[in-house]
Structure 1
């Protein structure tokens, strides 16, 4: 008769089950009474094995019960999955059900629908009895309703099937069937129709459980058989008595107890059909001899005179009629003394409250006013309870009065996205044409609510709602320029021009080999070409000059043109602690001379000077930190060293630079020039390999640590 939903209690932060009466029954008074009866019956019980009721109410035409949510399964699903259950498990469940029934019976509540479907098993193994939809008080009348019986035909008792009064022992009978099904995986009575099953409850004996499942102990079978006796007086006298029997039925001294026997009323019937031994001839003679002794007695008695048997019944009938007539008169007299006058309840729905109360007063009825939200105008009666019936004079009629047009409240939407807020407003019933969007300031993300009107918590009428939302716009971004190598002043101007911010502590000074003093060496956190927006902060690292251990050397490089008197172009490429493959200078030379080159070396970085004539490498010079130390200490450094193929920086050739041309004649001169060219080609390859190795070294240093690499 209802749908059950899983819900979340926002106030107490817990899961609950919400039972809602089906829509087709909301106008059926019988189902509404049954629905309320379930809430009242379960709410009056407080027991670990009964599902708790948290709340019951009505919202419009929706009748609902909020109850405890059990995480687990039903006993019916457990039987389908595992039956037959272990004896200990089945007895454990049955004992808890009996405990719950004992509590209900103690509170004069008869469940009347005990079956596996209404038994919930929690994850901790605790049994919860639920669904008191057809429960009745123990003192109320039978469940027969216009010739029908409400209940589950496979589980109700014989007296339940006959429609007679059902009491505590009917629940005990149903519990016996549940135990039978748990231990045998089958129902005791099956039939083609509910009527045939009900007749079997009344007429047929149940098949003994041990014949279906021999593993059931005799003591447990005795409990089932006693609970399922067709006569209520032969069952357990109470659920508590059955629970006590279940608590001890698995004890070692009871497992093999004798099978229970019951008194048979047919054994006392003298007219029952019997199997008797035949009477032998000698027994017949003995009987004939004894017969004459009795005959004289019968002869001596005279036949009784015929009596008028109709006189006494007639007298009793007349007396009974007189008594009934007197009682009828007395009842009418008393009823006339105590009869309360009844009046018709007027229909005052959709009338102003004062007018409705006046009409009820005129009908000699009183009123109880309950305000609720409604689309009706304020102080207008939305509905009344009861309506369309007669009530005793002075009875209260409940009037449900409108509080006025429904109002809504806005939550705090600041910080949420515009799309999410629109969905929430639509859920409240607010249309898009009631929403105004204003552009606010720029933020990291666009369409974020910055302000809202009305403010959170303010009430307003839904139809007159005018919502104003101020949303953020996306920041405009641009590519970060490269500030590295600029002077400090130029970098500051560029930062101001771009609309960026330089914090008060945004400049750090460090020693640097790569950049002269006052030049920018690093920019953070936005490197070149990174996406940045106005207002972002950026910090700079400014060179504070060369480190203390930097060594400055001046190297004199001898060069000689290929042909005397003609210009030759010489290109100087420097790789030292400050530069990598830096084109230091290009000179046109027409006569032999020395070119001055200044280099910087560090303890772990030497200087390599490459001299090229055109695109041909003609010489290379290497200076190490040791050369700087020697010069500093006054030692003489070879003025014109040239590097010969070697594996270490210190293996240098201090001989003069080898010119590309030269003088001489004859075969010897030609051979010398050829050897010189071969030597230079080999030297070019060696220098190229050395440069390649330097690149690999730098790559490895970069992988090992960027900071160390930049220091190098």
Structure 2
């Protein structure tokens, strides 16, 4: 049944109980998304038409009950040969489990439980439903302490045929009422008798009647008295003991007349004024008043009337006039007849109970290695019962749902309907996946090991993603999720690790013209926080000289804000000056390479010109001077520095910059010179020398000899 869907709506999850007539499963109502309990009729009853008809009718009657202390019936149905009842699912324990764990219970707790049971019975009795199987197994205690009575109406569906098949009277013999043990019609007071036994067991941790066989227990219900509850547990108040004594009277007429009457007593029994009330006394049960009701009961139940006492004799006994002396033989005759009658009644009761409770012996089949369902079927077909408490545990090399042990040895003989406990294998318990989100991978592996999941980091499927909220290298998503069972042998763990915020590389706009830089940044999603100007000797006006706070290739968030610093040009105190520098070849007409370099506020060794010349040229050199930075101009011929000129800031500011002197280059040494006529020729070499110094024409005669300057500093 596990995993099966009844009516396409109820998915069977697990078996949670069962008895002689039905199995109980936990299931999920797929339509309403809630857990329910489903009672499924055992297979041996599915062909009994009368039972099925009554089963349905009684289930429908139970469904009519609506009470906070009654397990609700949601649905009744049939699918193929499966007859089922859908009921409310109660999270908690049954009273039998609680009694086993911690009986005797506290008096106030036992009274509280009994009051709620009584309330449920009162509601049922008003709806003409008799439970007939009140016992701790059928009392559920929810986690909130709410008592729920279950199995209403099921026992009532049993027929005489069923009794014959099972070899037992319906219900549990330890909780029988005397009239139940006799097999006569039971009513509301039978339920109250059974409730009295439940209270007795809660407060004493034992049953009032025990025996070696069901027959002996049933006879004790009929014949024997039980130990007073206070003799077993002196802590029980007298008022509570009185409730037990009254509810467990063998004569139904001496019990509570209704569940409401009993509940009224339960609700007030712990009041200070009642706790120590006198012990309840009843009429002596040893005289004939005890015998005659039983005789009448046996007549009602179908026993033959004993003719040893004739109607005439009865009339004679009853109608003898008062005061008239009886004949001497009458009294002994009555005593003898009464004794014989009593013996006859008891013999009939014993024969009747024996006929109903006599159980034949059957052989235990071997159900080890069978599926649970097959094992149950085999045991039931053999006439044995299956213990409600199935042991479920993991066993190596045993598949799930397979029986690996039975409490009774195969081949032995047992009384029919003896319970056999099964041990059934379950799947290997799997550890639940712990929460590893928020951890680094190494921490997660340690946490998994701590939870019993041995796995290496290489066996974990790791992917990375940017995450604006999770710190880099931390796991922020895991599969399986927390709490899900995990099988290290077959399952895979996948985690997603944060790469941190989704960052991009910062581009550089330094050196770009301002508007071009702005357009570029905005087209890439960045924001321009501000544009600020700074003066600069090196950066051209209007060009970006710095970006802040993110430099080139820095990791930044998309849409980051940037401040641009743009050059506003030269500082206000900067001075510009064009310095005209004459450059000449070594000899006039002879080609030579010359280079002019200068240093000013804009930088060192800037090149003004670098070319071949064969005649004198004037080169304008544009200089920028700062208060703390003079300018220098250097002349090179064929790579050798031949002249250096300095230009000071103050001279430029004051307009007193001296210009370099011009000296024409000499002619090559082998060039002939045309000398003009001289009247004084031959009078002296000094005149010839002087005339040579005046060449070329226009020379101011500064005595430069071969025409080369002296290299003086014009500053």
Which TM-score tier does this pair reach, normalised by the shorter chain?
0.3 to 0.5
Query: What TM-score results when the alignment is normalised by the length of structure 1?
Result: 0.42
Q: Of the two, which has the highest radius of gyration?
A: 2
Higher helix content, 1 or 2: 1
Q: Which has the higher contact order (CA 8 A, sep 6+)?
A: 2
